Amino acid sequence: MSIRIDSENGTLTLHTAHTAYQMQIGRGGHLLHVYYGPDAEGTFARSIVPADHGFSMNPYEIREGRNYSVDQLPLEYPGSNIGDFRTTAVDLIADNGICGCDLRFKSCAVEKKAYTLQGLPAARDPETEAETLHVVLGDEATGLEAELLYGVFFEKDVITRAVRLKNTGDHALTLLAAASMCLDLPERYTERIHFHGRHTMEMQTERCVLAHGIQTISSGRGMSSHHHNPFTILCEEKTTEEQGWCIGVMPVYSGNHRTDIEVDQKESVRVVTGINRDMFTWRLEPGEIFETPQVLLTFCSSGLEGLSRQLHRFFRKHILRWPEAWKTPPVLLNSWEAVYMDFDAKRICALAKQGARLSSDLFVLDDGWFAGRSSDTKALGDWTADKTKFPHGLVTVEEDVRKQGVSFGIWIEPEMVSEDSELFRKHPDYALRVPGRKPVMGRDQLVLDLSRQEIVDGLYNQIARLLEDGGIRYVKWDANRNVADLYSAALPPERQRELSHRYVLGLYSLMERLTAAFPQVLFEGCAGGGGRFDAGILYYFPQIWGSDDTDAVARLSIQRGYSFGYPPECVGSHISDVPNEQTGRTVPLSLRALTAMSGTFGLELDPARLSEQENEELQRYIGIFRRYAGLIRTGIYSRLRPERERDSLFAWEIRAEDVSEVLVFAADTDPQANAKAVTLYLRGLQEQAVYRLTCVEPETVWNGSRPLSGQLFTGSELMQGAFSIRPFSGTAPAALFYLKRTECA
Ligand code: DGJ
């Protein structure tokens, strides 16, 4: 049983395979958070030592000793205006003027399955392996009820949290903040890791020492953003890949998110996560319910690698859903960097033919194919084929591509509209804009108001028409600007600040309908690369284009950042031409190919511009990817290097869950003259087992005077430093090794 309710001690405990999470109903009925850590039995409330702290007030009914203060206690879901002066999880104003809420315990119950949320993604539970704890807190003065939801995924060591806020009173309530969770932690959590960036440079890993006060990681861009990924890790100073406590906090949400980390006067750490309270309110009429997005929580006592492993396993079972036909990952050729918008049917068919020669599985026609789209200033909104480029329509191209044994995929950007488009001319009010103000332009386009049902319906019909004949097997769904000008022609004034969340709900409903109606289609998310790379999108679309920067060197740090929270098979990653379009850098094909293999692997170039020899090499890399794709999609991922910032050596390992085979990748982004040999310390292998090494790329690597390929190593040797490789050079800065467990000892 993963949930225990002990009425005698007033404790509620969640157990997963290796962790425990405990709450205690405090004296005043406040729900206290008393423990989250390695699995343990017991009552952890004793960690709270009552003391009289000046300027920390006491509830009216508990004043003796002055040592019970909500300002000092670890609270599970704190309201505001009650004497807890830290950042709060929920804030509101009632129509009768009452502000804030004082939430006290009312009831709790256990359900033998995972909870679901209305219109929001919530971790799937296909085999009903999860349990849910429901805890109801209530505020008498306003009638707000907060039902805290805890989904306990025992095997995965993941707890999901969300909150159902209900107005049980007589007055309408306006929520000013409605976080999905609060987590009050002890002072041992002194650092945080988060993933910041910008367009074409997402997921830069940053580790900081926590400071007193509030540190915020957020997005107000209407999307989870290139700038701050909705994923934060709290850890100890001593936490490394292999040791130390850490907690991952990841909202399953694609809109404006916010994580506040507050270090208070006693160095306790409060983490509040959920929808960004800026530009947000939600009106709850009597009887109405508001559900917050879900947050994934996972604790690991053995460092960051374990934390990532827990999340990767969780994603694979409970978030990602691959179309049956694409369970084996397709190798795709995407037209974008090959031809941009400069094409016609003939050029596209020729490009697809080149892809077919290389034995790719899928050809993707990127931006530029629809009516009037001759540049990125026009035509978004009209999702029919351009007659000049495709006089006989798309169907003939689709057929031509299919005749070559390659599936056909297409790019769309459905949330956007160009002023120069039929849709905008007909329905100018469909675009978000503030009356009386000129709209803010991003890539010369506007954002459609997805809070409106008729707009979502219209988009569904347009996209369904494209997909109906079954010819399109893949869709890349792009979104190339952030959301501003928040004003909806369809909402009353008091609901205008609901718009950014309503937009996300509209988007999710569209994704839900399309993926349900077209389960054979593989959807890939994209927002100018990783501008909306989050668990919410991944719930519908199992892969997301990782970055518009296709330079392999830049990609190594971007993809390393993703690996902390997301499994490699969901990170869209392609081999592109050199010099690279974004950075101007020229790196060998081997580095480009092996980097793409730590993601989805695809091509984004015109093979006709490559030499015969390069085409042959490409074909060889495709073969290598196919050989190991299954392992990449299911294996355990370890970040081996860099160990320190500014270390130019990147290395990762993917081992099968049963440790019978291992793939090791290494690359040096800044090879030195007179360089040292490199020792790789592998992880997680069976110490006594014997592994046979194969050099996959390059095929011949020497270890002194002996070739490395064919050499046998024990697991211990591989983990303790016997695996050394020659220095990397500028012409061959990347290598891939494969280790297979042999029967011999
Ligand atoms: C941004 C995407 O990230 C690119 O891959 C490409 O699809 C362009 N948009 C097309 O406009």
Site to substitute for ligand 1 among 411, 533, 558, most atoms within 8 A of C-beta: 411
Residue 704 has pLDDT above 90, yes or no: no
Instruction: Give pLDDT, residue 339.
Output: 98
CA–centroid distance, 374 to ligand 1, in Å, is 15
The C-alpha R_g of the chain, in whole angstroms, comes to 27
Measured by CA distance, the residue closest to atom 2 of ligand 1 is 528
Q: Is 336 in the pocket of ligand 1 (CB under 6 A)?
A: yes
pTM: 0.97
Q: Is 548 in the pocket of ligand 1 (CB under 6 A)?
A: yes
Mean pLDDT to the nearest integer, 141-155 = 98
Residue 278 has pLDDT above 70, yes or no: yes
- Helix (H) or strand (E) holding 717, with range, is helix 715-720
Per-residue DSSP letter, 706: E
Mean pLDDT to the nearest integer, 375-383 = 96
Topology (CATH) of 3-319: Beta-galactosidase; Chain A, domain 5 (2.70.98)
First to last CA, the chain: 41
What is the secondary structure of 390-422 as a DSSP string?
A: -TTHHHHHHHHHHHTT-EEEEEE-TTEEESSSH
Site to substitute for ligand 1 among 367, 374, 603, most atoms within 8 A of C-beta: 367
Set 155, 419, 614, 717: catalytic member: 614
Site to substitute for ligand 1 among 342, 443, 480, most atoms within 8 A of C-beta: 480
Mean pLDDT to the nearest integer, 264-291 = 97
Mean pLDDT to the nearest integer, 71-95 = 97
- Is the torsion defined by CA of 555, 556, 557, 559 positive or negative? positive
Backbone angles phi, psi at 187, to 5 degrees: -70, -5
CA–centroid distance, 528 to ligand 1, in Å, is 6
pLDDT digits (tens, 9 = 90+) for 713-738: 999 999 999 998 877 888 879 999 99
pLDDT digits (tens, 9 = 90+) for 185-210: 999 999 999 999 999 999 999 999 99
Alpha-carbon span 283 to 496, nearest angstrom: 10
Q: Percent of the chain scored above 90 by pLDDT? A: 92
Q: Is 477 in the pocket of ligand 1 (CB under 6 A)?
A: no
Residue 35 has pLDDT above 70, yes or no: yes
Domain 639-743, CATH among 3.20.20.150, 3.40.980.10, 3.30.465.10, 2.60.40.1180 = 2.60.40.1180
| Residue 485, Ramachandran bin (φ over 0: left; ψ between -120 and 50: alpha; else beta) | left
Q: Which atom of ligand 1 is nearest to the CA of 366?
A: 7
Residue 596 has pLDDT above 70, yes or no: yes
Instruction: Give pLDDT, residue 674.
Output: 87
Q: Is 232 in the pocket of ligand 1 (CB under 6 A)?
A: no
Helix (H, G, I), strand (E, B) or coil at 231: strand
Measured by CA distance, the residue closest to atom 9 of ligand 1 is 528
Q: Is 529 in the pocket of ligand 1 (CB under 6 A)?
A: yes
Q: How far is CA 558 from CA 145, 195, 319, 547, 595, in A?
A: 42, 9, 22, 8, 11
Q: Is 544 in the pocket of ligand 1 (CB under 6 A)?
A: no
Q: Is 367 in the pocket of ligand 1 (CB under 6 A)?
A: yes
Alpha-carbon span 131 to 503, nearest angstrom: 30
Helix (H, G, I), strand (E, B) or coil at 2: coil
Instruction: Give pLDDT, residue 327.
Output: 86
Alpha-carbon span 318 to 316, nearest angstrom: 6
Which position has the token pair 């409060």? 270
Instruction: Give pLDDT, residue 744.
Output: 52
Q: Is 534 an active-site residue? A: yes
Q: Is 145 in the pocket of ligand 1 (CB under 6 A)?
A: no
pLDDT digits (tens, 9 = 90+) for 616-638: 999 999 999 999 999 999 999 99
Site to substitute for ligand 1 among 370, 375, 545, most atoms within 8 A of C-beta: 545
Q: Is 569 in the pocket of ligand 1 (CB under 6 A)?
A: no
Q: Is 526 in the pocket of ligand 1 (CB under 6 A)?
A: yes
CA–centroid distance, 347 to ligand 1, in Å, is 19
- Contact between 251 and 535 under an 8 Å Cβ cutoff? The reply is yes
Mean pLDDT to the nearest integer, 92-120 = 98
Mean pLDDT to the nearest integer, 466-479 = 95
Q: Is 367 an active-site residue? A: no
pLDDT digits (tens, 9 = 90+) for 493-547: 999 999 999 999 999 999 999 999 999 999 999 999 999 999 999 999 999 999 9
CA–centroid distance, 214 to ligand 1, in Å, is 36
Instruction: Give pLDDT, residue 178.
Output: 98
Residue 573 vs residue 745, higher pLDDT? 573
Set 534, 551, 569, 577: catalytic member: 534
Residue 12 has pLDDT above 90, yes or no: yes
193 half-sphere exposure, CB direction, 13 A CA radius = 23
CA–centroid distance, 480 to ligand 1, in Å, is 8
Measured by CA distance, the residue closest to atom 1 of ligand 1 is 528
Mean residue pLDDT of the chain comes to 96
CA–centroid distance, 390 to ligand 1, in Å, is 21
Q: Which atom of ligand 1 is nearest to the CA of 548?
A: 3
Measured torsion, CA atoms of residues 394, 400, 406, 411, in degrees rounded to the nearest 10 = -20
> Domain locations in the chain?
3-319, 639-743
- Contact between 71 and 83 under an 8 Å Cβ cutoff? The reply is yes
- Is the torsion defined by CA of 682, 683, 687, 691 positive or negative? negative
Residue 662 has pLDDT above 80, yes or no: yes
Q: Is 478 in the pocket of ligand 1 (CB under 6 A)?
A: yes
